[in-house]
Amino acid sequence: MSDSFFLQKRHRKMLLSGRRWRMRLVFWGGAVGVGVVSVAFAAAATQASALFNAMLFNPWIALVLTPAGFTLSAWVAANYFPGSQGSGIPQAIAARHIRDTGLRSNILALRLTFGKILLTLFGLACGASIGREGPTVQVGAAIMLYSGRVGRMISQRGLILAGGAAGVAAAFNTPLAGIVFAIEEMSRAFEQRSSGLVLIAVILAGMASLGLVGNYSYFGSNASMLTVTIDWVALPICGILGGVLGALFARAVLRINTFTGTYIAANPRRNLLLAAFVAGSIVAICGLLSGGATYGTGYEAARQAVEGSGMSLGFAPLKFFATVASTCSGIPGGLFAPSLSIGAGLGEAVAAVLHVHAPGAIVLLGMTAYFAGVVQAPITSAVIIGEMTNATAMRLPLLLAALIGYGISRAIQRESLYHAMARQFLANLKK
């Protein structure tokens, strides 16, 4: 008999294998679970932000509520959910580099992800300038890793990658961005062995999200395009400013994290709470100065800017400081959505100064360039903004803005923020 006969027989045996089908079903169930959890997390985050706004019947209440909330959240995270602090994306990246499967499982334990969700919601209910998208990546990676253990799958690194991609796709309703994010940011390379896992996870998580909330554009729809000379002049300006400010944000976060780590180590019980209280106070002050616009994710302000309603010129710098403080405070929460809102404020300011013909388009350029400057993932930045706003006419300008922002940021800050934070996370684990 020929070799092809035996190969076909072996292929049929593998196709009908009960063990293989159990692995597939568990994996598919995990991917759907990521989509369901992402949708529930998004709905709960909206309610948490609404609760905070309801409590601010007097704006000055934030000076007590926000610092106290930060302090409590940092204490609970450190004592009951260690490893839940911050975005969640650095943890997922770090888990892919850890060879110790037990330690990897601890970083992405389901109990830890429960605390991540709970404390992120609590932070939003206290006015923190954080987002849910980064935590969704860690949650997605944890769900897929657990599914892999149940289904006895051995590709743990691939499962983490697939879970992170599914988390981004379901959080923003951006399947292409989820795939690009996994390749460009989490793995920093195309991994053929994991490509099928990533694609299936993104599709199933996206279908679960679509089934629950329907098809939508995260930041609404923007049909603007660059039509006159002044609009094209704004493109490199947004790219340069976005790259500079994004790099400054990354540098500030990394240096403050290094300083606070040393400061807290000197007296962990007291200094942890003091650092969180100071960060919460900064967020509250920024909120008061902005008339409440800088609290939370910044989603509403960014959406209004994308759709042409505009925002104040002071929004971007105040949101910048509030997000730095929130990111370095020791509480769980991501920086995806706040960064996009800062970029929207940057684009709005450039549009106002230059008196452009299409201000909505310039807002998109600001979002893309700044986000590319922060995370140094230009393709992800351009794709995610394009998908979130349905801006089909802006594909090339978005890519150009992202490339400029990335290049400028790379010249100032050599290491990507998420990967640098992952390195800091791994260093702390070894202590």
Compute φ and ψ for 334, nearest 5 degrees: -95, 175
Same domain membership, residue 423 and residue 316: yes
Output DSSP code: residue 332: B
Distance from C-alpha of 247 to C-alpha of 19, rounded to nearest angstrom = 48
Angle between helices 156-172 and 192-213 (to 10 degrees): 30
In whole angstroms, what is the distance from residue 402 CA to residue 399 CA? Answer: 5
User: Are both 353 and 403 inside the same structural domain?
Assistant: yes
Let me know if residue 122 belongs to a domain. Answer: yes
pLDDT in tens, the chain (431 residues): 445 544 455 545 545 555 676 777 787 888 888 889 998 998 999 999 999 999 988 999 999 999 999 999 999 999 999 888 888 889 888 888 888 777 888 888 889 889 999 999 999 999 999 998 889 999 999 998 888 777 776 677 888 888 888 888 888 788 888 888 888 877 766 565 667 778 888 888 888 887 887 777 777 677 777 888 888 999 999 999 999 999 999 999 999 999 998 898 889 889 999 999 999 999 999 999 999 999 999 888 888 888 777 778 889 999 999 999 999 999 999 998 899 999 999 999 999 999 888 888 999 999 999 999 999 999 989 988 988 888 888 889 999 999 999 999 999 998 889 989 988 888 877 66
Q: Is 247 a domain residue?
A: yes
Domain hosting 145: range is: 21-213
Question: If we measure between CA atoms, which residue out of 263, 330, 417, 425 comes closest to residue 123?
Answer: 330
Q: Which of 213, 237, 255 is the last residue of a domain?
A: 213
Query: What radius of gyration, in Å, describes the C-alpha atoms of the chain?
Result: 22
Instruction: Please give the Cα distance from 336 to 398 (Å, whole number).
Output: 17
Q: Is the dihedral of CA 198, 201, 203, 206 positive or negative?
A: negative
Q: Are residues 57 and 177 in the same domain?
A: yes
> Which residues, 6 or more positions from 217, have their beta carbon under 8 angstroms from its beta carbon?
173, 387, 388, 389, 390
pLDDT value at residue 368: 95
Q: Are residues 252 and 331 in the same domain?
A: yes
Whether 316 is in a domain gets the answer yes
- Asked if 144 and 182 touch (Cβ cutoff 8 Å), the reply is no
The rounded distance, in Å, linking the Cα atoms of 122 and 52 is 10
CA angle 255/285/123 to nearest 5° reads 70
Taking the C-alpha atoms of residue 176 and residue 390, their distance in angstroms, rounded to an integer, is: 13
Question: Residue 368 and residue 386: Cα distance in Å, rounded?
Answer: 9
pTM: 0.90
Same domain? For 293 and 350 the reply is: yes
Residues pairing with 332 in the sheet: 86
* CA-wise closest residue to 117 among 45, 198, 9: 45
With contact defined as beta carbons under 8 Å apart, do 408 and 370 qualify?
A: no
Residue 430: phi and psi, rounded to 5, are -80, -15
pLDDT of residue 6: 46
Q: For the chain, what is the domain count? A: 2
Using DSSP's 3-state secondary structure scheme, residue 131 falls into strand
Do residue 128 and residue 251 come from a single domain?
no
The neighbour count for residue 191, using CB atoms within 10 Å, is 17
Strand, helix or coil at 130?
Answer: coil
Give the span between the Cα atoms of 100 and 157, in whole angstroms. 12
Task: Give the CA angle between residues 289, 330, 102 to the nearest 5°.
Answer: 155
Cα–Cα nearest to 208, from 30, 393, 33? 33
Q: What is the largest CA-CA distance in the chain?
A: 84
Whether the CB-CB separation of 249 and 320 falls below 8 Å is answered with yes
DSSP-derived letter for residue 298 is: -
User: Which CATH number do you get for residue 344?
Assistant: 1.10.3080.10
2 in a domain, yes or no? no
Would 387 be classed as within a structural domain? yes
Question: Is there a domain that residue 9 lies in?
Answer: no
Give yes or no: residues 188 and 50 share one domain. Answer: yes
Q: Are 35 and 207 in contact (CB under 8 A)?
A: yes
On whether the CB atoms of residues 147 and 141 are closer than 8 A, the answer is: no
CA 138 to chain centre: 10
The candidate with the shortest Cα–Cα distance to 298, out of 357, 230, 238, 344, is 344
